[in-house]
Structure 1
Amino acid sequence: MAESIDWPYTSPKRNRRRIFLIAALIAGVVLSARTALSYYVDMLWFRSLGYGDVFWKTVSLQWIIFTVFGVATFLILYGSFLALKRAHLPDFPSGHTIFIGERSMTLPVEPVLRLVALLASLAIAAATGASMMVEWPTFALFWYAPRATTGAVDPIFGKSLNFFLFSLPAWQVVVGWMLTLAGIICLLSVFFILISGGAGALARDRRTYFRLPWRGFSITLAFLLLILATRVYLNRFERLFDAHTVFGGVTYTDAHVTLTGLLFVCAALVLGAVIAAVNAVSAQRGRRLIVAILPAAACFIAVQLTAWYVSSFIVKPNELVREKPYIAHNIELTRQAYGLDRFSLREFPAETTVDSADPANNQPTLQNIRLWDWHALQDTLRQIQEIRTYYDFPDIDIDRYEIDGAMRQVMLAVRELNVDKLPESSRNWINEKLIYTHGYGITMNPVNGFTPEGLPTLILSNMPVQSTVRGLTVTRPEIYFGELTDTDVYVKTRQKEFNYPQGQSNNLTSYEGNGGIVLGGFLRRCILAFDRGDLGKLPFSDDVNAESRLLMRRNVRDRVSALAPFLTYDPDPYIVVGDDGRLSWVMDAFTTSDRYPYASHYRLNDTVINYMRNSVKVVIDAYDGTTTFYVFDTEDPVLAAYRRIFPSLFKDAALMPQGLRKHMRYPELLLKLQAEVYGLYHMTDPEVFYNREDLWTVAAEVGMGEGGEQTTQPMQPNFVLMKLPDETGVEFVEILPFTPANRNNLIGWIAGRSDGAHYGTSVVYNFPKTKLVDGPLQIEARIDQNAQLSGQLTLWNQQGSHVRRGALLVIPTGRALLYAEPIYLQAERSPMPELRLVVLALQDRLAYGPTFEAALTAIFGGNASSLASSEPLRAAPATSGVPQAATDFNALIGEAAKDLADYQRLTAEGKLGEAGQKLEELKHTIDKLNTR
């Protein structure tokens, strides 16, 4: 008989522990696998752009912060549990008996609590570490910020700018974390008091007095009071960021009462912590803990009452006198924070005569007035240049180029591929990922170039791209990276890519760039497919090989945000045709902060800031996706800190190719925010500021709502190629006019300069306060009140079409302001508007014509305005042997408009008989138009 084998004995408790550890390990691996793969793919993507060190630096910062705060949180919480448990161990219940049916079972309390505390500490530690990872820019700036300071900029505390921008935010995050932990530990100590105190009370005779164990709670309360004291101390600096009715920052009451009073509150909290600590080592009494809290509460109430008294009875009756120096601080530092102190001020006479416009010496300005409204141009290009339904022009950009030896202002539009517009039968993986991979080409037209049919005069157009200007060519028209490229594609595959339609066939191509992630072997391909949600197709495609590449994050906004999420970006990128013929996207990037001392806060998109600098220009190659960050403001302290963190991410502006450098421009987002701030903070005298005597707002204009109705809205910045007053050269500037608050007349205008040594500077032109200068809404009213114009527009709206009015432009020329508005006619069945009228106006003169030249001659040459074209339309070719009538439509329309104006005049004069005759003539003319 075989001998029995004695197996090693394993207790059920140890088996359960092993099973638990194995299950936890498997769960951890499964949960972290996706994260690890995502990090791997991100690393490949950063490395493909040459920013591998940026990725590793970011990841290392994030995980160091996660580890430090996660481990510290766990040790503090679990260590506090063990310490409190040990302190209450003599009064701790040994177990709890429960009954299941008729059988009793005793549950051990201490092991269960220890397990719960362990799991809770781990969970809170993981959540804390993850939340702190998001704050990595705050800690990175604190660690890498230059230690050298340029002197005190804060007039209240004497602290340096670096303290408020870098040190204070980091300390606030740390103190907030410690305050949360202190609160949790206090709750834990209360829990132990309830558990151990309740067990002790039950274990004793009810007639015997039982004293609660206050030692653990006393220690935790002392810790909480110390953290509160630190928090109150830091909150003193928060007073610099407070917003008040008149101004922002520290007030008279804050400076003379609150700031000093908070120091007494801090001292009272420290005293309370000492009392609580003494209570922990001496005879423990609950009353002492109440005494520990009372001094701080009393000090806080006293400070609040004193501040209320000073504010109500000392400041309010003499507010301007008391607050004057603090208003001056707010004005000075707000202007610094938004760069308003860099503005130069000039006077603009805003004269009203034709001679003051000086047309002879301002021909470059006049010849570059933008008559193409970008909405109208976009709709027109979608009709004449999309060519296929799956193309789209998502935006129109305005820039300046040298054309035939002269600088001209032009409008550019990129023809991008919109995968969502592919025919339903073509929506498959091969088409969307391998064939339809990119858009193609670009259009360019002068801002005031029109054909006789009212269409844009195109300099660059069609597919392949055709140019009408010698020296202006596009060598790489393919758009792999743009504003609509929201999907991943695979290039350098065995499948040819669709390039552009060509007759009955299609022109095909293969990607020749070095952008993207190399797919490599089967394992890497599977990893990439799993991360990008393409596991069912990519690993098994015969068209993909080891040299194929994945192009991901092709949307330029997503691309720059992934590379440098700590920067704020202008949401409107613009396209540039370089001297080498390559297409590049340019995005303005900003550093922002909400911790600039004494500066007022303003809303920027979805965030609130009080500091902004346009320090970086980002250039993204539309073909291979190469992304470069160029530094344009070396004095920005925030960017200087980020350059220390990521030295390889940023390049000096001097390294930008000249073909790109000459197309940089003043950021639209920055000018709009600066204009909003300047409307209030151009008043540098505290008394004027306090009384709001000279409050400005951005001028309003008539716009089109979503339903096509007219609405009043703030004007958008307008790019103009012009000669600034008292300047000699032509510049590309961004202008925005101002009006007094709640008024429609203009009071001044701001110009953001973009060229040469003036790049990044701004000039504000002030109008004489004794002169009334019409604003955009007043000019619009003058157009509406013109009998011939209103009659013409009314007539057009009744003939199976509708009138579309472009944006009214306010253009300084000479010593006067010139207003220009294009008016388009759009058929109801066609979304393609055509220019039919140009309206020009000076302060005391309004003129119009069917072309810009006619309107210009009317306003400066003294010719009468006319609605009729000076050149009759050519007769249409005969069809089926029937000749077409060569009727002049514009002449008939002009005749109808004249009849309507005469009818309105005669009716107003009471000459009803003559008015009836004019009405009959108007009906006769309309019949002619209907017949034709």
Structure 2
Amino acid sequence: MSRWKHRLFILGFSIIAFFIFLIFAGFEGIPFLVDLWWFDAQGYGFYFWQRMLYQSVVFIEVGILFFLVFFLNFWIASHYLGTERPAEIPPGTPRKSFKRLFNKFQTGSLWVYTPFSVVLSILVAWPLFQQWEAFLLYLMAPDMGVQDPAYGKDISYYLFSFPIYVLILQRLLIALLLLLLGLALLYWIENRLLSQHGKRLPLGARWHLSILVLFTFLIEIWDFVLQRNELVYSEAHQPLFSGPGFVEMRVILPFIWLSLFFLLGVALSLVYFINRHKGIKLLVFFSLFFMLSLGARHFHFLHWATQEYIVKPNELSLQKPFIEGSIQATLDAYNLSDVEVREFERERILENILNTKVQDLLRNIPVWDKELVGQVYRQLQQLRTYYSFPSTNVDRYMVNGKKHQVFLGARELNYEKLPSGARKWVNEHLLYTHGYGPVMTSAGQGRGEASMDWFIREIPPESDQGFNTEQPGIYYGLGPYRYAIAPNENRELDYPKGNTNVMTDYQGRGGVSLSSLFEKLVFYYYFQDSDIFFTTQTHDKSKILFRRNITERIETLTPYLLLDASPYLAVTPKGLYWIQDAYTASTWYPNADRLGLAKFEFPIPPKGNERINYIRNSVKIVVDAYHGTVDYYVFDSSDPIIQAYSRIYPGLFKSKEQMPADIRAHVRYPKDLFEIQMGIYAKYHQTDVEVFYQQEDVWSFAQKYNKESETRLRPYYLTLDLIKENRFDFLLFLPMLIEGQDNMRAMMAAGSDEPYYGKLIAYSFPKGELVFGPSQINTLINENPEVSAQFTLWSQNDSEVALGAMIIMPVGQVVLYIQPVFLTFKGEVKIPQLQRIIISDGQFVVMEPTLMGAYIKLKERIEAMGESS
């Protein structure tokens, strides 16, 4: 009867546990189901299953590998255990529980070493499973075609193979040590039992232990081989250069080889001693010399003495090949090897204002400042409290047949600005579902007015320049969007018109179906919002739109890409599209300087606290603001990381030629990448080893000034004919100073238009020539009597003077400094008005209401000086 009770208890407990498991699995499965639906709605259902499959395959394969390591060794051990029963375990050994366990091992019970193997394999393999994507990169990555200078290995070895080898080695060593300790304990107990009866441990058991010992030593020997390769990441010679130097390659490396050799001797002599009980002197010899070589390798005094008495007196000659390797590796890692250097020979002659090229150039100078433009947009074009402009960006568009530099922003929905009385569930999720329309203005001073030159404005959008778009609705953008249910019986507010509102029904491809009770129940649990389930305002075409912030959307799809901090809007006849720059990066590029060592803040948030030393802007991502579709286009097919991902996920990444032409026309070189590159190039443009060693020509970022603070000048976009004469290209531009001085040393430019996209040019000034930097020009402006008097007058009339960002740029062979001056009223509502333009060539300072007028006046001053001299 007790047996039946026992069985009934087990059956009842199993049924209860099964139902608890089903409930838990159901709740945990809901996020999985929602993700599946969401990926499928984007057209990435197959990609979703790919990722799930890859994770499962890596987990199963790694788990099986380590399971077999444990299981087979326990199974082998079971064949040499059991000559004597654990009842005869010697005194001092824990009795009852251990006696039973040992008996199971003796009899080769699957019920013991199978679960032991499973548990141990999961514990050991779990960190490897967490790096499942790195395993795929290791399997799929191509060769880069570039060799490191230290060992001649292809760079792909360091980017993909080396980190995996390090991880595998660590887990294998842990697995073998656990096995070795466990089996040594079991064999020790068995040996003691046998010795009581005058018997010895079987030869097979001794060979089993010997092989495990040998494999453990071989793994550690492999570790020394990897330590040899790890020298390419040395930072011992910072702040001068990265990578190994004379001490690493001529002192540490030989001792690594010696340690490896003596460790192999220790392994072989130990195995011989275990089996023959001979060779103790040989074992001691190898062990002693292994410890000596290991100690010498880590002996700080030896490194210091070599550096102090051998390297330091001959540093340039001894470190020269290593410095050369570091310079080239760093330039390659940051895609700076092909920077074109051009000497900029300055003149003091401004071209005539009647020159069409000069007029086009001046028309495109962005005298309006991005931050001030944002203020104007919010004050004049927000139009309703529930709209906002999260960001403004600069771009170029064709206006009346000519390329025109513009600012534009998206009028997005802002739930936080809904009136408190309107913050109801129906309003927040059914009625207010989207923003509406772009706003576009000239970046320059098109008509010589203090107000902006509007290209697109109002609701619905109006344009005198012919800008029209079929779909101005913005359901996906940069704001903190909540979920929306559309279309719905309540209908959606499309845009306000007079005293009424124009309503609409969402017809886009975005969103997940919300037409059934089951789907409503799933999303009720997912969002923890019962109104989703109980609302009667849905119908068979209703969909729930979520993850509407484009950054969240992209990171959910491709979490392995680093995203630029500034996605931007493109206006096309078909609709509005967000363009997001994405990067592939690595911390494993050999000999290259790391960003964490640079003297500037990293503008792209890295994943974790990794200090990367390789980066490529490999991908441009396009997100439809209405439909929410996400498309990936490869813009740097030479990057081995994106090549590997393209192989892992075939069909996910498209070629740049497949990007629609009207969107591709607005692709631009990203500021964040350019800033990173310039932070590196400021030091590593010195490709001559002697100049680099002396650090004689290090550059730094320019500073910009206002009344409150001093901040670093960020890169800015200009429309200039610098790349090719008489061809205006959209360029990213940044002046660079001599480190420690305010003098300008170079002007850096990056092309954004085809066929010069990504072309980097350094316009270098002669070293002996004085070219003013922003701080010196700022001093000239402040000391100018006309300017200071006007500023003082404005400040007395309830107005505030706000200086826009100083623009430094070449016009012909003359470097001009252009400082816009804005006035704002001293009140809560601030609408900046462009009042004056200050221009200087480094000698004269003029201030006029218009850019054209200031240019003419400066030209007259220069010519008058030339005539008088």
TM norm structure 2: 0.87
Give 1:66-465 correspondences, 5 Å limit.
66-74=59-67, 76=69, 108-110=97-99, 125-126=121-122, 129-146=125-142, 149=143, 153-185=147-179, 222-243=214-235, 244-245=237-238, 246-282=240-276, 294-305=288-299, 307-354=303-350, 361-449=357-445, 454-465=450-461
CA-CA distance at 1:743 after TM superposition: 0.9
> SS of the residue aligned with 1:459?
strand
> SS of the residue aligned with 1:628?
strand
Give the partner amino acid of 1:757. P
CA distance in 2, matches of 1:188, 1:778: 73
TM norm structure 1: 0.82
1:533 aligns to what? 528
> SS of the residue aligned with 1:237?
helix
8 Å CA contact retained: 2:515, 2:538: no
Indicate how the Cα distance of structure 1 residues 520 and 285 shifts in structure 2: closer, same or farther if over 3 A, else same: farther
8 Å CA contact retained: 1:276, 1:292: no
> SS of the residue aligned with 1:818?
strand
1:727 aligns to what? 725
1:871 aligns to what? none
8 Å CA contact retained: 1:482, 1:622: yes
Alignment of 1:626 onto 2:629:
yes
CA distance in 2, matches of 1:416, 1:828: 28
CA-CA distance at 1:848 after TM superposition: 0.8
1:900 aligns to what? none
8 Å CA contact retained: 1:699, 1:738: yes
2:847 aligns to what? 848
8 Å CA contact retained: 2:349, 2:862: no
Indicate how the Cα distance of structure 1 residues 93 and 668 shifts in structure 2: closer, same or farther if over 3 A, else same: farther
1:51 corresponds, among 25, 39, 44, to 44
CA-CA distance at 1:844 after TM superposition: 1.1
Indicate how the Cα distance of structure 1 residues 40 and 129 shifts in structure 2: closer, same or farther if over 3 A, else same: farther
Q: Which moved more, 1:364-373 or 1:630-639?
A: 630-639
- 1:66-124 CA deviation, whole Å, 9 max, x = no partner? 22333444554577678789989879788999xxxxxxx99523557999998887666
- 1:337-358 CA deviation, whole Å, 9 max, x = no partner? 2121121111112334545999
Indicate how the Cα distance of structure 1 residues 70 and 791 shifts in structure 2: closer, same or farther if over 3 A, else same: farther
- 1:309-351 CA deviation, whole Å, 9 max, x = no partner? 5333322221110010111111122212212112111111233
> SS of the residue aligned with 1:342?
coil
CA distance in 2, matches of 1:624, 1:533: 25
8 Å CA contact retained: 1:222, 1:272: no
CA-CA distance at 1:693 after TM superposition: 0.9
8 Å CA contact retained: 1:354, 1:842: no
CA-CA distance at 1:839 after TM superposition: 1.3
Indicate how the Cα distance of structure 1 residues 93 and 317 shifts in structure 2: closer, same or farther if over 3 A, else same: farther
Q: Which moved more, 1:319-328 or 1:510-519?
A: 510-519
CA-CA distance at 1:642 after TM superposition: 1.4
Give the partner amino acid of 2:814. A
Give the partner amino acid of 1:506. N
CA-CA distance at 1:164 after TM superposition: 2.0
- 1:768-802 CA deviation, whole Å, 9 max, x = no partner? 11211111111111122223322332443344332
What is the total number of aligned residue pairs between the two structures?
Answer: 830
8 Å CA contact retained: 1:721, 1:730: yes
Q: Which moved more, 1:667-676 or 1:88-97?
A: 88-97
Alignment of 1:519 onto 2:514:
yes
Indicate how the Cα distance of structure 1 residues 685 and 63 shifts in structure 2: closer, same or farther if over 3 A, else same: same
8 Å CA contact retained: 2:437, 2:472: yes
> SS of the residue aligned with 1:719?
strand
CA-CA distance at 1:509 after TM superposition: 0.8
8 Å CA contact retained: 1:734, 1:751: yes
- 1:882-918 CA deviation, whole Å, 9 max, x = no partner? xxxxxxxxxxxxxxxxxxxxxxxxxxxxxxxxxxxxx
8 Å CA contact retained: 2:272, 2:279: no
2:678 aligns to what? 675
Give the partner amino acid of 2:465. V
1:654 corresponds, among 651, 654, 657, to 657
CA-CA distance at 1:188 after TM superposition: 5.2
8 Å CA contact retained: 1:343, 1:762: yes
2:503 corresponds, among 501, 508, 523, to 508
1:549 aligns to what? 543
8 Å CA contact retained: 1:736, 1:749: yes
CA distance in 2, matches of 1:24, 1:767: 77
> SS of the residue aligned with 2:611?
strand
8 Å CA contact retained: 2:340, 2:762: yes
CA distance in 2, matches of 1:763, 1:650: 29
CA distance in 2, matches of 1:15, 1:225: 52
CA-CA distance at 1:403 after TM superposition: 0.9
Give the partner amino acid of 1:109. F
Q: Which moved more, 1:161-170 or 1:759-768?
A: 161-170
CA distance in 1, matches of 2:211, 2:575: 69
8 Å CA contact retained: 2:445, 2:851: no
CA-CA distance at 1:414 after TM superposition: 0.6
CA distance in 1, matches of 2:515, 2:264: 63
8 Å CA contact retained: 1:838, 1:852: yes
CA distance in 2, matches of 1:492, 1:189: 66
Give 1:756-771 correspondences, 5 Å limit.
756-771=754-769
CA distance in 1, matches of 2:687, 2:719: 31
CA distance in 2, matches of 1:498, 1:756: 40
1:748 corresponds, among 726, 746, 749, to 746
2:201 aligns to what? none
2:825 corresponds, among 824, 827, 836, to 827
Q: Which moved more, 1:353-362 or 1:454-463?
A: 353-362
CA distance in 2, matches of 1:749, 1:814: 14
1:572 aligns to what? 566
CA-CA distance at 1:385 after TM superposition: 1.0
CA-CA distance at 1:478 after TM superposition: 0.7
1:483 corresponds, among 470, 478, 482, to 478
CA distance in 1, matches of 2:45, 2:717: 38
Name which one, 1 or 2, has greater alpha-carbon Rg: 1
> SS of the residue aligned with 2:755?
helix
1:782 corresponds, among 780, 783, 795, to 780
CA-CA distance at 1:429 after TM superposition: 2.2
The alignment's C-alpha RMSD in Å is: 3.6
Give the partner amino acid of 1:272. V
CA distance in 2, matches of 1:608, 1:772: 36
Indicate how the Cα distance of structure 1 residues 128 and 505 shifts in structure 2: closer, same or farther if over 3 A, else same: farther
Give 1:494-505 correspondences, 5 Å limit.
494-505=489-500
- 1:277-326 CA deviation, whole Å, 9 max, x = no partner? 44544559999998875443222123345655533332222111001011
- 1:192-243 CA deviation, whole Å, 9 max, x = no partner? 799999x99xx99xxxxxxxx9999877655443322212211211111222
CA distance in 1, matches of 2:371, 2:402: 27
Indicate how the Cα distance of structure 1 residues 284 and 482 shifts in structure 2: closer, same or farther if over 3 A, else same: farther
CA-CA distance at 1:612 after TM superposition: 1.8
8 Å CA contact retained: 2:408, 2:438: yes
Q: Which moved more, 1:601-610 or 1:392-401?
A: 601-610
Identity of aligned residues (%): 31
Q: Which moved more, 1:670-679 or 1:246-255?
A: 246-255
CA distance in 2, matches of 1:495, 1:219: 75
Give the partner amino acid of 1:375. E
CA distance in 1, matches of 2:775, 2:355: 25
> SS of the residue aligned with 1:332?
helix
